Amino acid sequence: MKTIHLKTIILALAISCFSIAVHSNAFADETHYPLTVKNCGRTLVFNKAPERVVSVGQNTTEILYALGLSDKVKGTALWYSPVLPQFTDVNKNVKMLSHDVPSFESIIAEKPDLVASHQEWVIGPAGSAATYDQFKDFEIPVYTAPADCVGKDNLAGSDGLRTAPFTMDMIYQEISELALIFNVQDRGEKLVKELKAREQAAIDKVKNLPKGKISAVFWYSSADLDIDPYVAGDLGAPGYIMKILGIKNVIESNYEWPTVGWETIVKANPTIIVLAEMDRRRFPADDVVVKRDFLKKDPVTKLLPAVENNRLVNMDVQSMNTTMRTIDGIEKLANAIVELGLDKK
């Protein structure tokens, strides 16, 4: 009887401990306000979950949509591509302040209690739309995507200079922190888990790829077709895509999008040329059709084996930026490698 009684006590204690642990985990899932968040060298304080958000940057907006927060977004700006198909309906109900850089006045007019921004060149120490200090004067916190400030000097060059490579962990951090700010941690955890699973599946698809034998160049655009193109450096999103798939980047630079001469690129002889596809038409080469036409007709580039063998891969420009869509870029390139039979060489 004593043995049975002891077992009963142990079982009861175990159940009690489990119940406490579950309760603690559930409790930990709740955001406690005031909440302090360290962001891009600044301290943000939230007394409650924001109700009115202006998101400046397509990626940040799509993350908010993915977290089920579209009803909190009162205005958005800076878009490069159509919204992700699954968000077409909710996006119709969100005010577009500008497809490009919005004005400070248009943001303030929406009376936001949070501005969520993707890039510091738009809103930052010397932002083209506004500075952090301008919003501070109105007591409006600005949350900037970690991918655009962690290990990056945005005052060096137009696109900034990375001192550390981009990784998807920076996107996962943004998702988790926004989920924390809005008290929807369960949604954030689910989204991160889904993205990590997709990333691993793409890596596994080309796990037998001969390391270092396949190379690539990512062509973003060109200010003019007669001058050097903007191509991807080592430390941005394209560099990450190539690295995790075992592909060599023929461009060695810490700048996001350095300009490199076609003669240098031809000499490097990339196995694959990845072309940015976008709605923006600031330059003629923003159009992917123009890019393809140039490569096939230019006397220098048309002799590239990648061009002759049509190893040209179109990729949505948002996949080439430090965004949630970088996962799409990883999948796109992994699939192209398999379709081209490069994983078997």
CATH C-level class of 35-194: alpha beta
The answer to whether the 35-194 and 208-340 domains have the same CATH topology is yes
DSSP code string of 155-210? TSSSS-EESS---HHHHHHHHHHHHHHTT-HHHHHHHHHHHHHHHHHHHHHTTTSP
pLDDT band at residue 171 using 50, 70 and 90 as cut-offs: very high
Of 122, 146, 150, 118, whose CA–CA distance to 134 is shortest? 122
Average pLDDT over residues 1-22: 39
Q: Which amino acid is located at 302 in the chain?
A: K
Q: How far apart are CA 20 and CA 107, in angstroms?
A: 45
Average pLDDT over residues 22-45: 78
Neighbours of 298 (CB within 10 A): 16
Are 219 and 229 within 8 A, CB to CB? yes
Task: Point out the least confidently predicted range of 26-30, 123-127, 171-175, 317-321.
Answer: 26-30
Cross-strand pairs, 233: none
Per-residue pLDDT for 17 more than 50?
no
Are 278 and 81 within 8 A, CB to CB? yes
Of 150, 190, 144, whose CA–CA distance to 169 is shortest? 150
Q: pLDDT, tens digit, for every residue of 142-155?
A: 999 999 999 998 88
Per-residue pLDDT for 6 more than 70?
no
Are 238 and 313 within 8 A, CB to CB? no
Strands 230-231 and 215-221, how do they pair? antiparallel
Cross-strand pairs, 30: none
Q: What is the mean pLDDT of the chain?
A: 90
* pLDDT value, residue 157: 66
Per-residue pLDDT for 199 more than 50?
yes
Per-residue pLDDT for 314 more than 50?
yes
Are 148 and 118 within 8 A, CB to CB? yes
Per-residue pLDDT for 106 more than 70?
yes
Are 239 and 218 within 8 A, CB to CB? no
Question: Tokens 């968040």 identify what position?
Answer: 37
Q: How far apart are CA 177 and CA 84, in angstroms?
A: 22
Task: Point out the least confidently predicted range of 19-23, 46-50, 95-99, 319-323.
Answer: 19-23
Nearest 5°: the CA angle 106, 318, 302 is: 130
The CATH H-level (homologous superfamily) assignment of domain 208-340 is Nitrogenase molybdenum iron protein domain (3.40.50.1980)
Q: pLDDT, tens digit, for every residue of 286-310?
A: 999 999 999 999 999 999 999 999 9
Per-residue pLDDT for 175 more than 60?
yes
Instruction: Sketch the domain layout of the chain as residue ranges.
Output: 35-194, 208-340
Residue 58: φ, ψ to 5°:
-60, -45
* pLDDT value, residue 248: 96
Per-residue pLDDT for 25 more than 80?
no
| pLDDT more than 70, % of the chain | 91
Question: Tokens 């300009």 identify what position?
Answer: 259
Q: How far apart are CA 173 and CA 171, in angstroms?
A: 5
